[in-house]
Amino acid sequence: MNPCVADILENFPGARRDSLIPILQAVQERDGFLSRESVLAIGRHLDLPASKVYGVATFYNQFRFTPIGRFHVQVCRGTACHVKGSANVLDAVERELGVRAGGTTRDGLFSLEVVACIGACGLAPVIAVGGDFHAGVAPRDVPAIFAAYRERAKGGGSDAA
């Protein structure tokens, strides 16, 4: 068993089915994604077949099965953002990073995700990079935003948002 998942499972002693989603969330929060090993370990812990665990995990938008980059990029595609041109922002981000939504850049620096609504509609269009919000983003702002994060990564500084 993956020793790292074991310590999370320890926090859910005697766990039943209703702990499945919280466990998946806890694992993803720490590892950034759900690995095959952790899904199997969770299934054993809850006495559920892996198919059921995958069945739940794939149903929800939140869960990922591939590692994320050092900076996780979320592009909001809510209604307000859409009306204010977030489709073009998403295009610009995809072009800037050279990956499609759901992908991770080859250097592992950025992973790109589209989210339904971040809940900051008053500031549309919004993107979040590594937890930092950027409000009122226009396609032309995109290169500068990512240049700053590349700079930060190069400087070896803290990623803390």
Residues that bind other proteins (CB under 8 A): 16-22, 24-25, 55-56, 59-63, 77-80, 82-84, 88, 91, 95, 115-124, 126, 131, 133-135, 138-140, 161
CB of 70 vs other proteins, minimal distance in Å: 17
CB of 78 vs other proteins, minimal distance in Å: 4
| 59 backbone dihedrals φ, ψ, rounded to 5° | -70, -40
DSSP H or E run through 9: helix 3-10
Separation CA 111–CA 72 (nearest Å): 5
Nearer to other proteins, 4 or 26 (CB): 26
CB of 99 vs other proteins, minimal distance in Å: 15
Nearer to other proteins, 67 or 131 (CB): 131
Separation CA 5–CA 37 (nearest Å): 9
User: Quick one: residue 138, left, alpha or beta (phi over 0 = left, psi -120 to 50 = alpha)?
Assistant: beta
CB of 36 vs other proteins, minimal distance in Å: 19
